[in-house]
Amino acid sequence: MYAYGLEDNPYPSSPTPTEKDAKILGGRRHKEAKSSIVECMKDLNSKVQGRDSTDNDFRVITVIQDVGSGKTHLALHIKNLKGRYNAECSFVDLSTILPKTMPSLYNAIIKGFDNDFFVQLRAKFLTYIKERAEQGDNSAKKAINYTMMNRLTGLTIKEKVDDIIVGKESVSSEHLKQFLVQRFSYYESTLIRNVITNSFESIQNLEELIGMLSAISRLTHRFLGKITLVEVDEFDGNRDSIEFIKGIINSHLPACILLLISTPSGYAEVQNTNSSVFDRLEKANYKIDLAGSNSKDELAEIAVEYIKHNDKHNKFKAELEDALIDKIQVLYEEFPEFRSVRSIINILYHSMERSSQLCLDKIDESVIDDAIKQTYPGLKVRGSVMEVPISDFIAIRRSCRDPSSEKDLRDAVRNLTNLAHEMGSICKLEKQNLPLDIVYQDPFGAKVGVAIVTNSDSTGNLDQLSNISKSAIVDKLIILTNKKIPNPYNATVVNVDKSKVIDLLYFNNKYNDKKIAESDNERAEMLAKTLCII
């Protein structure tokens, strides 16, 4: 059992999405992109319904965004939806095709279709031949090897074709060819023969590739009543890829949509390599920019969608959802490594696995820490002097939004000076009703006052500190603050940024729990130095 009562890990383990993983689509930007693509599919279907498709029935869609933004996931999700929107889809990843020759590209497109697509086409093609044979067409009978002996034994044409469909009988390749060339174009007849015989011939050049793709889209519309969607991933400035795409666009494949997926850098390469192709892409029917798909809100929504989709027992309640979103957003805000769909999903996959091993009912900071140690060994909190573990960091970072953290911050500074006193670096003194948080004597005998100024402090407190800085009450005044204040006379103002707050609160927890190890002393001393306390 996994966290939140899930029977399986809801997150994909592979960094490259699969069609199974892509069944789930989360995130507002991705859903908007899906709506645009579906709208294009519906529009083209309505245009070609009830008539023969023409060269005008061709559409281009571009999807552009950075690596890890979910572009491929979106494309595979659309492919999974093909049945609902009356389309047959081939997905091609150009990064996996080497060399990018016309034969290899054509082969990739054929393999990019589902096997069921060709099974349907084969049955339709054979049914067409059967109907012609039943009407007395002798060339059709010869194509399916329907002989006098078959007729005498009582085998009907339908039974003969049924046997061919299930593989018990075969067609006559030569007679099939003669039958087809009388009724279809060269490339259409070639494709039909290839599909019926389950043997695809290799093409030699771009002209043949375009001819075969045109035959696929035209025959898919004619025999299945569906449009064709060709998704091309990782399109960039490769010259062979550009010639391939240019040929498709120029040929205007009938009843077909070309969906091109690229990164901004890859799209710029296309512009530099072939301005005419770039110009055609700029005039695409739909231009989808997934900008914002890597925002923290979008990533959180995507992550939550996986759990909701697999939550069969309705255990992922609102409070658990909010807690997980909070953790994801802390990771996003503090670590650039976790600002993409891919990286967040990867961490959550490993966190889920760890939660199963530990029999936890939710993903907590500790399992996220374990996942990060496993997948990002050596990753540290930036700017941390205390080397705060990421699990503690997430918890502290969240608590910083609590008003009580202001009190904790003051306690942390006091305890840091207590430790410095215990180590003999300073000597703490009584405050004697001074508006200071700490007073001590440094190793040189100077009297030092420390004041902590937070956003909630009033102007009156600053006036008092200004008066102290001008008097001889202390030899040195240190103001630790997280707000922008004027620098008082003879005072040292230290900006306590977010990383110092995390360090102080982490130190304070260890100090209060009496868990300060010897190895922590040196780091605590360094933290005190960054705050000008010693």
The mean per-residue pLDDT over the stretch 129-135 comes to 93
> What CA dihedral angle connects 505, 508, 509 and 510, to 10 degrees?
130
Return left, alpha or beta for 516; rule: phi > 0 is left, psi -120 to 50 is alpha, else beta: beta
β-strand pairing of 286-289 with 58-64:
parallel
Residues of the chain with CATH 3.40.50.300: 28-112+206-289
Q: State CA 257 to chain mean position distance.
A: 24
Q: What is the pLDDT of residue 60?
A: 96
The mean per-residue pLDDT over the stretch 171-199 comes to 94
Please give the CATH topology (third level) of the domain spanning 406-530: Trna Endonuclease; Chain: A, domain 1 (3.40.1350)
Asked whether the bond before 488 is cis by omega within 30 degrees of 0, the reply is: no
Q: What is the pLDDT of residue 101?
A: 94
Question: Which residues lie below 8 Å from residue 211, measured CB to CB, with a gap of 6+?
Answer: 186, 187
**Listed residue (170, 146, 142, 171) closest to 157, CA to CA:** 146
Q: What is the pLDDT of residue 150?
A: 84
The DSSP bridge partners found for residue 58 are 256
Cβ-contact 214, 187 below 8 angstroms = yes
Residues of the chain with CATH 3.40.1350: 406-530
pLDDT tens, residue by residue, 260-311: 999 999 999 999 999 999 999 999 999 998 887 888 899 999 999 999 999 9
pLDDT exceeds cutoff 70 at 340: yes
Spell out where 127-245 has E strands.
Answer: 227-233
pLDDT exceeds cutoff 70 at 457: no
Q: What is the pLDDT of residue 486?
A: 76
pLDDT exceeds cutoff 60 at 459: no
Q: In the structure, what pLDDT confidence band is assigned to residue 403 with cuts at 50, 70 and 90? A: low
pLDDT tens, residue by residue, 30-40: 999 999 999 99
Other residues' Cβ atoms within 10 Å of the Cβ of residue 96: 10
pLDDT > 90 fraction of the chain, expressed in percent and rounded: 60
Question: Which residues lie below 8 Å from residue 79, measured CB to CB, with a gap of 6+?
Answer: 19, 22, 89, 91, 229, 231
Q: What is the pLDDT of residue 250?
A: 93
Q: State CA 430 to chain mean position distance.
A: 57
Other residues' Cβ atoms within 10 Å of the Cβ of residue 54: 13
**Listed residue (30, 59, 102) closest to 260, CA to CA:** 59
pLDDT exceeds cutoff 70 at 402: no
Mean pLDDT of the chain: 89
pLDDT tens, residue by residue, 518-530: 888 999 999 999 9
Cβ-contact 361, 3 below 8 angstroms = yes
Segment (H or E) for 100: none
pLDDT exceeds cutoff 80 at 8: yes
CATH number of the 28-112+206-289 domain: 3.40.50.300
